[in-house]
Amino acid sequence: MKVGVPRALLYHRYGRFWEEFLAGLGAEVVVSRRTDKVLLQQGLSHVSGEICLPIKIMAGHIEELGGKIDVLFLPRLLWLEDRLYACPKMIGIVDIARMMFDGRLPICAPNIRGSFWWPHFRAGMELCHDPVRVVRALTRARRYIPAHDRAPDFPAGEKRVALLGHFYNLDDDFISRPMVDTLTGHGYRICTKDELPEKVLRNRQGFARKIRWVYERELYNAFRFLVDKVSGVCIIVSMGCGPDSLVAEFMREEAQQRDIPFLQLVIDEHSGTAGIVTRIEAFLELSERRHAGRSKIQDSRLQIGGQAAAA
Ligand code: SF4
């Protein structure tokens, strides 16, 4: 049986786990190709223009798999521990897939509500009907669940900036390549949230406790952890994403209070590489000055955030 896994959204965190799990069930796993313009165009034809870029990309990946597979594997994450929810658009992607295929393609969509393992066990049973095999497949695959228990080192004198954004944006080259290339091309080490230990990302102290979206809490906690260790903070926000824009605003205020250069890049399918590179270079100039300790940054919001918001 060919089981399709779209290379988008949660794939960028759980993809290796899913591939190993499904292969352990005896399935032939078909992963959609890497994001490109054609695939994005396919996605645009299935969802409203108002929706965020990651969901448009996901729709393209789903479309890409249709016709090549027997079953689409598309877990629906509702909430993880501490009742931290995924955003409604992410939850709704399974319904979008159902509308796209209108019953022509079976969809295996385990609902993750707090427990991660039980829904996967049931999905495994749906696909292979053998409990022993399902347990073995889960046991073998669980080593691919990403886990960091140590914070990275931050050597003195190193030039580094934080590049914050959802893992499905940063891990997708189609979205993040211009940012990553520009930052590293200027000699900066990039610090991201996904290299931080879980205990940092799941911290419930202070404002983080009030954030009820699972991945926004991670973003905010990563910001708090990194803000004093870097020369600047760049955050990638998807156009049309309510949770991102709200949490980014709090980060911006805190960065300003600490005189840390802050760049908010708002992305959608029209974002051009040239515009992104120009903004990052302006941001890096401020970061460079901060790194060198030459001047105090007074208002990065007006100089940088204003430009980005006007994109
Ligand atoms: S959190 Fe934002 S970017 Fe992510 S799926 Fe939801 S609306 Fe889109």
Q: Which residue in the block uniquely carries the two structure tokens 């979206």?
A: 213
pLDDT digits (tens, 9 = 90+) for 89-107: 999 999 999 999 998 999 9
pLDDT digits (tens, 9 = 90+) for 183-220: 999 999 999 999 999 999 999 998 899 999 999 999 99
Assess whether 195 and 79 both reside in one domain.
Answer: no
Which atom of ligand 1 is closest in space to residue 238's alpha carbon?
A: 3
Residue 152 lies in a domain: no
Assess whether 61 and 90 both reside in one domain.
Answer: yes
If one compares 298 and 243, the residue with the highest pLDDT of the two is 243
Residue 133 lies in a domain: yes
Distance between CA atoms of 135 and 141, rounded to whole angstroms? 10
Residue 153 lies in a domain: no
Ligand 1 centroid – CA 241 distance (Å): 5
Domain boundary among 144, 168, 191: 144
Number of domains forming the structure of the chain: 2
Assess whether 17 and 57 both reside in one domain.
Answer: yes
Assess whether 235 and 287 both reside in one domain.
Answer: yes
Assess whether 194 and 236 both reside in one domain.
Answer: yes
Confidence of residue 309 (pLDDT cuts 50, 70, 90): very low
Q: According to the model, what pLDDT value does residue 83 have?
A: 85
Q: According to the model, what pLDDT value does residue 81 have?
A: 77
Ligand 1 centroid – CA 74 distance (Å): 17
Q: Are 107 and 101 in contact (CB under 8 A)?
A: yes
Q: Which three-class secondary structure state does DSSP give residue 233?
A: strand
Ligand 1 pocket, 54 CB below 6 A?
Answer: yes
Distance between CA atoms of 140 and 101, rounded to whole angstroms? 32
Residue 296 lies in a domain: yes
pLDDT digits (tens, 9 = 90+) for 274-288: 999 999 999 999 888
Nearest CA to ligand 1 atom 8: 52
pLDDT digits (tens, 9 = 90+) for 113-151: 988 999 999 999 999 999 999 999 999 999 999 888 889
Residue 115 is given by DSSP the state B
- Indicate the pairing of strand 76-80 with strand 84-85: antiparallel
Q: According to the model, what pLDDT value does residue 303 have?
A: 40
Q: Poorest-confidence range of 143-157, 160-174, 281-295?
A: 281-295
Beta bridge partner(s), residue 72: 4, 107
Assess whether 119 and 249 both reside in one domain.
Answer: no
Assess whether 269 and 293 both reside in one domain.
Answer: yes
Which atom of ligand 1 is closest in space to residue 169's alpha carbon?
A: 3
Ligand 1 pocket, 52 CB below 6 A?
Answer: yes
Ligand 1 pocket, 234 CB below 6 A?
Answer: no
Q: Which domain holds residue 42?
A: 2-144
Ligand 1 pocket, 244 CB below 6 A?
Answer: yes
In this prediction, residues 35-43 reach a mean pLDDT of 96
If one compares 283 and 290, the residue with the highest pLDDT of the two is 283
Distance between CA atoms of 124 and 135, rounded to whole angstroms? 9
Name the token pair of 235.
Answer: 């955050």
Q: Are 96 and 59 in contact (CB under 8 A)?
A: yes
Confidence of residue 310 (pLDDT cuts 50, 70, 90): very low
Domain boundary among 94, 114, 144: 144
Question: Residue 30's domain is classified under what CATH number?
Answer: 3.40.50
Ligand 1 pocket, 6 CB below 6 A?
Answer: no
Q: According to the model, what pLDDT value does residue 10 have?
A: 97
pLDDT surpasses 70 at 28: yes
Assess whether 43 and 126 both reside in one domain.
Answer: yes
Mutate to test the pocket of ligand 1, among 244, 265, 267, 271 (most ligand atoms within 8 A of CB): 244
Residue 150 lies in a domain: no
In this prediction, residues 11-27 reach a mean pLDDT of 97
Ligand 1 centroid – CA 245 distance (Å): 10
Ligand 1 pocket, 166 CB below 6 A?
Answer: yes
Ligand 1 centroid – CA 52 distance (Å): 6
Mutate to test the pocket of ligand 1, among 12, 48, 52, 57 (most ligand atoms within 8 A of CB): 52
Q: According to the model, what pLDDT value does residue 148 have?
A: 81
Nearest CA to ligand 1 atom 2: 241
In this prediction, residues 28-38 reach a mean pLDDT of 97
Percent of the chain with pLDDT over 70: 94
Distance between CA atoms of 268 and 238, rounded to whole angstroms? 6
Q: According to the model, what pLDDT value does residue 222 have?
A: 97
Domain boundary among 144, 175, 201: 144
Residue 110 is given by DSSP the state -
pLDDT surpasses 80 at 18: yes
Residue 43 lies in a domain: yes
Q: According to the model, what pLDDT value does residue 293 have?
A: 67
Assess whether 195 and 140 both reside in one domain.
Answer: no
Residue 178 lies in a domain: yes
Q: According to the model, what pLDDT value does residue 100 have?
A: 95
Assess whether 168 and 253 both reside in one domain.
Answer: yes
Ligand 1 centroid – CA 169 distance (Å): 10
Ligand 1 pocket, 69 CB below 6 A?
Answer: no
Residue 104 lies in a domain: yes
Question: Residue 183's domain is classified under what CATH number?
Answer: 3.40.50.11900
